[in-house]
Amino acid sequence: MQSFLSIDALESVSQETLRLMETRQEIQQRLEQYCARLEDLKCGFDQKGILEGDTQAQATYEQLTSAIRHYRTQIQTDLPELSRRLIEARQSLADNGESSTEIDLIKQVIEERREEQAQREYESQMSKHQAERLTQDRHETAEQLIDRIREQTSYYDASYLAMDVYHYREDLKGVDRLDEVVEVLYNRIQELSEKPITIQGTAIQRLKIMDAHARKLWSQSQPEPRPTSDKKSKPEAPTDEKEEKESYTHLRGKVVVFGGHTTTRTYVKEKLPKVYFVWSTVEDGLLIVDQAVQQIQTADVVLLLTDDTSHAVTRKAMAELRRLKKQPIELHHEGVNTIVEKIAWKLMFKSC
């Protein structure tokens, strides 16, 4: 005989089940959209054919294939777990008085799961020595994050670190340090805030809220672009400067970069549109770092942004550079224009 539920309990269970079914349908539709978009792109590669030695095309094709496989797996086996995560994420934002309209939570949940899938695949292929080294690197990353958090004396600088912690979350989870680092970050932000607030939920839920808040603060801190029509005409010197900067658009080559943020990467790529970049930002985690290290051998330029990367990442890159007897460009606390100029100079020197 089935268990007997009262009318109130039956109504509650039914509503919860319906909500779960609707959430699963939302996620499945999004996953199917992603698969369709990537399958179209993959077909384009199949039709054109990838030339032997075209490493960029081969790497992109492999990433497309991997992403499609991950999304298909999520549709087949992960929908219940993804639905639970999405419901929890929405509830966490509601509990903390945050709006979810500015955040694509479905995409966030799906991509987090894909990171976990890629991480599991990567770790399953590692040797015992590599696994031990990865564990050591992750512990070092946790310690460095904690040190950086405690060094902050500004509420804004402490808040911005939530972006770094969020993008190292899988590495921190791998050594059970996520809760610890999030607690240190949360406490430091509270200490520096003029109006401390309480953030409820698990460590990952609290981190997501702090990360979203940090991105909002960051975007608000960026100066608005000035309209060119409002500018007064100046002497001829700026024209020469403009021509010099525009000359970078013809440069070609392969550049591997360690460090920096996605905003830096976007700006530099716009200034050097014909350069092929392999860029491991602080937001990518240690999995992408290993992929970037493998590309050093065929790189024309290797750049280390030492103020925006961890000791573990720097050590990995330097070990490979020493093995290959290559000299990197090392920059510390430099602006994006300096980064562009250093890369451009190196590429121009190479072509001479």
- DSSP letter string, 282-343: TTSHHHHHHHHHTTGGG-SEEEEEGGGS-HHHHHHHHHHHHHHT---EEESS--HHHHHHHH
d(C-alpha 95, C-alpha 206), whole Å? 11
d(C-alpha 307, C-alpha 185), whole Å? 19
Location of structure tokens 């790189």: 299
Residue 228 placed within a domain? no
**Element (DSSP H or E) covering residue 152:** none
pLDDT at 183 over 90: yes
Residue 53 placed within a domain? yes
pLDDT at 296 over 60: yes
* pLDDT for the residue numbered 350: 67
Q: Residues 290-316: what's their mean pLDDT? A: 82
pLDDT at 194 over 80: yes
Residue 263 placed within a domain? yes
pLDDT at 157 over 90: no
Q: Residues 184-188: what's their mean pLDDT? A: 95
Residue 343 placed within a domain? yes
Residue 230 placed within a domain? no
177-to-145, 181, 286 alpha-carbon distances in Å: 11, 6, 15
Give 324 or 352, the one with higher predicted confidence. 324
Q: Residues 66-73: what's their mean pLDDT? A: 93
Do both 189 and 270 map to the same domain? no
Q: Residues 197-226: what's their mean pLDDT? A: 77
Lowest mean pLDDT among 13-22, 96-105, 143-152, 192-201: 96-105
Do both 134 and 185 map to the same domain? yes
Q: What mean pLDDT is reported for the chain?
A: 82
Q: Residues 139-150: what's their mean pLDDT? A: 89
Residue 179 placed within a domain? yes
Query: Mapping DSSP to helix (H, G, I), strand (E, B) and coil, where does residue 189 land?
Result: helix
Do both 51 and 121 map to the same domain? yes
* 221 pLDDT tier (thresholds 50, 70, 90): low
State how many domains the chain has: 3
Do both 189 and 83 map to the same domain? no
Do both 7 and 110 map to the same domain? yes
pLDDT at 187 over 50: yes
Cβ-proximal residues to 100 (8 Å cutoff; 6+ apart), any chain? 89, 90, 93, 94
Inter-residue contact 74 to 118 (CB < 8 Å)? no
d(C-alpha 8, C-alpha 122), whole Å? 48
pLDDT at 233 over 60: no
pTM over 0.85: no
Do both 2 and 105 map to the same domain? yes
- What Rg, from alpha-carbon coordinates, does the chain have? 23
Query: Mapping DSSP to helix (H, G, I), strand (E, B) and coil, where does residue 253 land?
Result: strand
* 3 pLDDT tier (thresholds 50, 70, 90): low
Location of structure tokens 């564990």: 135
Do both 345 and 281 map to the same domain? yes
* 287 pLDDT tier (thresholds 50, 70, 90): low
| Percentage of residues in the chain having pLDDT higher than 90 | 24
Do both 48 and 71 map to the same domain? yes
d(C-alpha 98, C-alpha 322), whole Å? 48
DSSP state letter for 126: -
Do both 47 and 133 map to the same domain? no
* pLDDT for the residue numbered 351: 53
* pLDDT for the residue numbered 242: 44
* pLDDT for the residue numbered 1: 52
Cβ-proximal residues to 172 (8 Å cutoff; 6+ apart), any chain? 138, 141, 142, 145, 165, 178, 181
Residue 309 placed within a domain? yes
Helices marked H in the chain: 7-48, 55-73, 79-95, 105-124, 128-151, 155-167, 169-174, 178-192, 203-221, 237-246, 262-271, 285-293, 311-324, 336-351
Q: Where is the domain boundary, 93, 125, 157?
A: 125
Do both 118 and 6 map to the same domain? yes
Do both 262 and 324 map to the same domain? yes
How many CB atoms lie under 10 A from the CB of residue 322? 10
Q: Residues 30-49: what's their mean pLDDT? A: 92
d(C-alpha 13, C-alpha 238), whole Å? 69
* pLDDT for the residue numbered 228: 39
Give 219 or 208, the one with higher predicted confidence. 208
Residue 306 is part of a domain; what is its CATH number? 3.40.50.10700
Residue ranges making up the domain that contains 308:
243-351
Cβ-proximal residues to 270 (8 Å cutoff; 6+ apart), any chain? none
Residues in the chain: 352
* pLDDT for the residue numbered 74: 95
pLDDT in tens, 255-270: 999 987 777 788 888 8
112-to-37, 190, 333 alpha-carbon distances in Å: 19, 27, 30
d(C-alpha 36, C-alpha 133), whole Å? 38
pLDDT at 223 over 60: no
Do both 120 and 139 map to the same domain? no
Q: Residues 160-185: what's their mean pLDDT? A: 88
Give 153 or 227, the one with higher predicted confidence. 153
Residue 142 placed within a domain? yes
Lowest mean pLDDT among 54-58, 161-165, 331-335: 331-335
d(C-alpha 109, C-alpha 230), whole Å? 43
Q: Residues 121-137: what's their mean pLDDT? A: 78
